[in-house]
Structure 1
Amino acid sequence: MISLTNSENSTVRSIEIVKRLARAMMVSGGEFSLLLVCCNSVQRQQQMLNLLREFSSVDIHEVLLSPTADKLYTAITSEIGSTQPEALMVRGLESVVAINQLIISTNIMRDEFRKQFQFPLVLWVNDEILCKLVWLAPDLKDWAANTIRFDVPQNQLVESEQQAISA
């Protein structure tokens, strides 16, 4: 019997998750959809995005938010203009200084996203941003399918570490 090491298991799992994300983007097929991808490490986000580009046939446009961004819709439209990419990845939410204001304004403007964007919108978030979406923009959060996770939620990681220490 062959046993996979933890790093091999992690790689296989990452590829499966990347393929799931690629399928979700492809299924959208020229219609708006909101996809939330949770990853707590910016470096890992970039690794997964690179892997996604290998597995996806969709042309992915990327927007990196400025820390001074205060409106997601405005940041996206100023970046893409009138073009309609096949898919749009938004990264950098964790660096936005006025994140609560950005999330609230995104929730208020959510209908404009659906009206104006005929592509999947993928928001890369960490656990903190995901919690803020749940509390500050529940209507927007409800639009998203299940959150795609590339790592263990922070609270589960802490619990696992505490269990390991106790054992």
Structure 2
Amino acid sequence: MTDNYTSENEKLEDLLVCNQRSLQKLERAIQMSQGQFSLILMCCNCSSMRRRMVKQLSKQCSIQIQEIILHPSVNTLFTTILTAIEEPPPPALMVFGLDSVVAIEQVLTATNLVRDEFPKHFPFPLILCINDELLQKLIRLAPDFKSWAANPIRFEDPKSQSLDMTPITA
């Protein structure tokens, strides 16, 4: 049954290669958006995997990325970001915690209403770290805002792919 083990091993390697490609795509998107507003969606369903990818990004990306973590009680994305950014504005901003916001539907609806303010006030790439559930809400509740982003840059967690790495022996 080593074929099963090899097949699972190949799936894991493919996943690692895909994640590395996604990391390069994210870095390139950040670099190409310097000095202008750009909405980048980083989609990952596993928070530990998200942290690993962000840590790796900070090691290999020459651009300084400011990070903010939203408190679950925030009620607007725009104002929260506006008050959190440093002066001068950062070269890039990564936002975490959107998936923990209690009033997420109101936040996304309000974000869609003030979408035109984002490019006026944020001359840098804005990276939203989200999961699939939040992506669906973004599409449904803030379609105009979401339309500014290219396809989400996805990162997959090998553990969530139900890879059974234990060889079966008779």
Give TM class, smaller chain. Answer: 0.7 to 0.9
Structure 2 counterpart SS, 1:122: strand
Q: How far apart are residue 108 of structure 1 and its match? A: 0.9
Give the number of aligned pairs. 152
- 2:129 aligned with 1:124, yes or no? yes
Structure 2 counterpart SS, 1:58: coil
Counterpart AA for 1:138: P
Q: Point out which structure has higher relative CO (alpha carbons under 8 A, 6+ apart).
A: 2
Q: 2:74 aligns with which of 64, 69, 73?
A: 69
User: 1 or 2, which has the higher helix percentage?
Assistant: 1
Tell me, yes or no, if the aligned pair for 1:35 and 1:120 is still in contact at 8 Å: yes
Deviation by residue 1:86-123 (Cα, 9 ceiling, x = unmatched):
10000111110000011011111111111011100000
Q: How far apart are residue 33 of structure 1 and its match? A: 0.4
Q: How far apart are residue 146 of structure 1 and its match? A: 1.2
Counterpart AA for 1:140: F
The equivalences for 1:4-15 within 5 A come to 5-15=10-20
The equivalences for 1:11-160 within 5 A come to 11-151=16-156
- Structure 2 CA distance for aligned equivalents of residues 70 and 147 of structure 1: 24
1:161 paired residue number: none
Structure 1 counterpart SS, 2:84: helix
Tell me, yes or no, if the aligned pair for 1:37 and 1:124 is still in contact at 8 Å: yes
Instruction: Give the alignment's TM-score, normalised by structure 2.
Output: 0.83
RMSD over aligned CA atoms reads 1.9
Q: How far apart are residue 5 of structure 1 and its match? A: 3.7
Structure 2 counterpart SS, 1:76: helix
Counterpart AA for 2:115: R
Instruction: Give the alignment's TM-score, normalised by structure 1.
Output: 0.85
Tell me, yes or no, if the aligned pair for 2:69 and 2:97 is still in contact at 8 Å: yes
Counterpart AA for 1:55: Q
Structure 2 stretches lacking a partner, 5+ long? 1-6, 162-170
- Structure 2 CA distance for aligned equivalents of residues 83 and 123 of structure 1: 20
1:163 paired residue number: none
Tell me, yes or no, if the aligned pair for 1:18 and 1:55 is still in contact at 8 Å: no
Q: How far apart are residue 83 of structure 1 and its match? A: 2.8
- Structure 2 CA distance for aligned equivalents of residues 145 and 9 of structure 1: 23
